[in-house]
Amino acid sequence: MESPSGNPYSQLKPKRKLPRQGQQLPPLPYVASTIEGRSAGEVFRETGTAMVEELQELRRTLHRHPEIGLELPRTQKAVLNALEGLPLEITLGQDLSSVTAVMRGGKRGERAVSVLLRADMDALAVKERTGSPFASTNEYMHACGHDLHTAALVGAAHILSQHREEIAGDVIFMFQPGEEGPGGADIMIDEGVLDVAGRRPIAAYGLHVGPQDRGTFHYINGPTMASSSNLAVTVYGKGGHGSRPHDAVDPVTCLAEIITSLQTAITRRFDALEPIVLTVTNLRAGDGAFNAIPDQASFSATVRVLRDEQINAVRQVIGEVTSNIAAAHRCSVEVDFEVLYPTTKTNARENQFAATVWGAQFGPDSIRQFEAPMMASEDFGAVLAQVPGSFFWLGTANPQTPYAQREWNHSPLARFDDSILGDQAAALASIAFERLATEDQHPSTITKAARTAVKTGSPSAKAGEPVKAPED
């Protein structure tokens, strides 16, 4: 029967429009490379195991003589000595003691792609109390495991150099100072670490040691570690005698109220499901006299925010709380809020790929997902803001030790089992090797276009020519 309008479909309900979803790319394929008929991961792990003692010696040398900040001359020299003789193009930092090394693979072809591996090298201003036979000889300590990161990346360079002719691209080794502050990653980026191979890397990987079960790899998609900001607050009052506070303007009571009020403000101004941490770490007031009210008091704090878009809102709340409380106490206040590092955001495809590669290499039970992001911070986020990649944690703790009894990173009692170094080096070598193999056999649209440009003689191909390292 014909509808009154003459349109046979006029009586049908209109189709509900669904919201458009962002494009979700398929998982990266895993090639499962072989070397002389054996699994590449197996070969690399075997090589790493054979060089454990050498890597331990390097790590323990670094541990005995830790350096902090951007200038690490002794550490830089140790890394250069450990890399000597390898087929690497090495560039040294200008404004920091960094080492950047590029290995050109034998199967790189034209318009080669690259993968970046990163290790941080700096220590902390922490006095070691482990009693280790290779404990620090100065006032600093490798309490965050960066000595293992450095030794493992050196190991990865050695492993890959033995199989350089089989590598389907270039590998960038990023040895970075200043992760603990003031931010060496940004400086290395400014000095060209992401462009040193001639083209930006297709992926970047970091592998951090921690107190998780030995040999387990941990990750979470998206924001993995929080942004980090430094907060400094100084309250100015009027000094006086401790017996006559009414004649003075006490900055101490004002400061104390600001500290407690900031904790309350964070919980009342932001959703409880929005991870934000403000921790006061330093307090200063007076010169030691018990009976004198000082004319100023100050504190320092670290502020961690998981979503970068919330940083300005947190900054505003801090400004409102401090200024209003200071006014109520007849004080004036100075606030300095400095954003150090952005959130470290990992790429879901690269996480999946790393989990697949390392699960095949070390067993599926070795791969674990964190239940939630960490509120600690990492300036590797500056790299991941420009290059897709992953940031995993590798456990070094005895699984039989209760978790509550394990010393966390940054503790003066922190210990890391450096017998893991062979596997750590093998893991880094494998992820670079396999990622390049995958891009070679299953090229992305960008890689296909670059290859086509070379074949057709397009002038755009010149953009992929390797660049020379700057003169020292």
Over the stretch 423-463, which tens digit does the pLDDT of each residue have?
A: 999 999 999 999 999 999 998 888 888 888 877 876 554 44
Mean pLDDT of the chain: 92
Rounded to 5 degrees, φ, ψ at 448 are -60, -45
The reply to whether 54 belongs to the active site is no
Type of residue at 170: D
Q: Residue 124's pLDDT is what? A: 97
Of the two residues 111 and 50, the one the predictor is more confident about is 50
pLDDT of residue 109: 84
Active site residue 180: yes
Strand partners, 469: none
The 10s digit of each residue's pLDDT in 336-372 is 999 999 999 999 999 999 999 999 999 999 999 999 9
Contact between 219 and 356 (Cβ < 8 Å): no
Residue by residue, DSSP assigns 431-446 as HHHHHHHHHHHS--HH
CA distance 10 to 252: 77
Q: Look at residue 111 and tell me whether its pLDDT is greater than 60.
A: yes
Is the pLDDT reported for residue 8 higher than 50? no
pLDDT at 458: 66
- With 0.85 as the threshold, say if the pTM is over it: yes
47/169 Cα distance (integer angstroms): 21
Question: Which tokens hold the place of 328?
Answer: 């109520």
Which one-letter amino acid corresponds to residue 80?
L
Per-residue pLDDT tens digits for 62-108: 999 999 999 999 999 999 999 999 999 999 999 999 999 999 999 99
pLDDT of residue 454: 79
Whether the link from the prior residue into 182 is cis, omega within 30° of 0, is yes
% pLDDT > 90, the chain: 86
pLDDT at position 66, please? 98
Rounded CA gap, 177 and 194, in Å?
16
The superfamily CATH assigns to domain 34-225+343-464 is Zn peptidases (3.40.630.10)
For the chain, the structural domain boundaries read 34-225+343-464, 227-341
Predicted confidence at residue 435, as pLDDT, reads 98
Q: What is the tens place of the pLDDT at every residue in 234-269? A: 999 999 999 999 999 999 999 999 999 999 999 999
Residue 453 backbone dihedrals phi, psi, to 5 degrees: -60, -40
H/E segment holding residue 212 = strand 203-213
> What are 389-404's pLDDT values in tens digits?
999 999 999 999 999 9
> Which residue, chain included where needed, has tokens 């062979």?
422
Residue 448's pLDDT is: 86
Half-sphere exposure for 191 (CA within 13 Å, toward CB)? 21
Q: Quickly state the pLDDT bin for 110 (edges 50, 70, 90).
A: confident
Tokens of 36: 């002389």
Catalytic residue (choose from 120, 122, 166, 378): 120
What pLDDT score does 71 carry?
97
Position 472 pLDDT exceeds 50: no
Q: Residue 459 has what pLDDT? A: 55
Burial of 369 (0-12, 13-18, 19+ CB in 10 A): exposed
In this prediction, residues 184-190 reach a mean pLDDT of: 97
Q: How sure is the predictor about 1, in pLDDT bands with cuts at 50, 70 and 90?
A: very low
Could you say which architecture CATH assigns to the domain 227-341?
Answer: 2-Layer Sandwich (3.30)
DSSP letter (8 states) at residue 238: B
| SS percent in the chain: helix, strand, coil, step 5 | 35, 25, 40
Is the alpha carbon torsion for 377, 382, 385, 391 positive or negative? negative
Evaluate whether 428 touches 148 at the Cβ level (below 8 Å).
Answer: no
Q: How confident is the model at residue 4 (pLDDT cuts 50, 70, 90)?
A: very low
Q: How confident is the model at residue 23 (pLDDT cuts 50, 70, 90)?
A: low
Distance CA 330, CA 235 (A): 10
Contact (CB, 8 A) for 374 and 275 = no
Rounded mean pLDDT of 103-129?
Answer: 95
Sequence letter at residue 180? E
| DSSP type of residue 168 | S
Catalytic residue among 128, 170, 180, 439: 180
pLDDT band per the 50, 70, 90 thresholds, residue 405? very high
